[in-house]
Amino acid sequence: MNHQPADLLDRVLADLPVRPASVDGLLRAGRRARRRRRTAVVTGVAAATALVLAGTTIGLGGAGGAGGPGGRAGLEAGDPAAPSEPAPVDLPTNGWEPGDASRLALATGVLGLDAEGCVVLDGGAGSRTYATWPAGYTAEVEPGGAVHLRDADGDEVARGGQRVRVGGGYGSATRHPHPCLPSGAEVFHVQSDVVLVPRARATDGPDADGEGGAGVLLDGAGNETLPVGATAPLTVFAHCGLRFARIDATLWETDERGNGSSPTGSDLLRGTATRTAEDRVVFTSTGLDGPVVFQPAEPDPDHVCF
């Protein structure tokens, strides 16, 4: 063995600035992975049992038809054979848990089911987004056909017909083959909590409602109501820089800060707003150099980051 190049390689590799190992982080992530694997095994056993039982029923001349991948085919309203209890929907999950890092894309749509009984986000005009959901998320469909989406704690986070917004990223479904994910197509991997988007009022432009932006995350009281003389918490979406804000349910504007990125590094700036006049709001937030003055703005159709 020629040691010269091997020694040189050793020396070059020794120069690599390897960051310290986060063994504690690995242990925490590993324990979560083990829990998920155990859950998957239990779910798989339950599914296999259900398949055996279903096969037995069919073999005995039962009337139970095979369901779609979502597991709800045949559960039509008024069907006397339909059970009175909600039926679980086969929901694809991706293992993300609160506290994990996540990608920053946003997706919106109306929660619903496709013809196969799979959960989809309906974007309107025929567009439809299939998604993988955070770890522990489940869905069930009522005998009447309404779908309910629940988080890992079993709490309902959305139901069929509601518009939701989720964070995460688009990608292939290759890593998570699932009967409810279109093979080879792009799906959205949800890496956030599910947030309900209020229906747009007829008088609201898309900018004011946050349609296509982060309006639903604007959870400060001042985002919805801020009369003259009042002070209230305000949240500003600054992903593309600090410029626009939803205040008192309308669009406001300030001199741009951040040069296209959040001036503090955080997409959501939470602070306090005081409306000092009909057309003047003063906003303060930790991390900003000083108070920011907003004034009413005209919607800007070229700006998509509200």
Is the separation of the CB atoms in 235 and 270 below 8 Å? yes
Check residue 4 for interaction with another protein (CB under 8 A).
yes
Partners of 167 in beta bridges: 106
- Going by the DSSP 8-state scheme, the letter that residue 43 receives in this structure is H
Beta pairing class for 131-132 and 186-190:
parallel
Is 13 or 63 the residue whose CB approaches another protein more closely? Answer: 13
CA pair distance 162, 292, nearest whole angstrom? 35
Q: Which pair of tokens denotes residue 235?
A: 């949240």
Check residue 37 for interaction with another protein (CB under 8 A).
yes
Stretch touching another protein by CB under 8 A, among 74-82, 92-100, 114-122, 250-258: 92-100
Query: Which x/- pattern over 145-184 shows residues binding another protein (rule: CB under 8 A)?
Result: --------------------------xx-xx---------
Beta-carbon contacts of 172 under 8 Å, excluding residues fewer than 6 positions away, are: 184, 185, 186, 187
Minimum separation from the CB atom of position 116 to another protein (A): 24
For 265, the 3-state DSSP assignment is: coil
Minimum separation from the CB atom of position 131 to another protein (A): 15
Check residue 27 for interaction with another protein (CB under 8 A).
yes
In the set 18, 125, 185, 202, which binds another protein (CB under 8 A)?
A: 18
Q: In 154-230, where do the E strands start and end?
A: 156-159, 163-172, 186-190, 195-196
Minimum separation from the CB atom of position 205 to another protein (A): 32
- In the range 190-249, which residues lie near another protein by CB under 8 A? 191
Check residue 265 for interaction with another protein (CB under 8 A).
yes
Check residue 101 for interaction with another protein (CB under 8 A).
yes
Check residue 9 for interaction with another protein (CB under 8 A).
yes
In the set 64, 80, 85, 102, which binds another protein (CB under 8 A)?
A: 102
The angle at the Cα of 173, spanning 100 to 47, to the nearest 5 degrees, equals 85
Q: Within the chain, what is the greatest distance between any pair of CA atoms?
A: 82
Check residue 6 for interaction with another protein (CB under 8 A).
yes
Beta-carbon contacts of 130 under 8 Å, excluding residues fewer than 6 positions away, are: 92, 118, 120, 121, 173, 180, 181, 182, 185, 187, 188
Place of tokens 């109501």: 225
The footprint of another protein (CB under 8 A) covers 1-2, 4-6, 8-9, 11-13, 15-23, 25-30, 33-34, 37, 95-96, 99-103, 171-172, 174-175, 191, 265
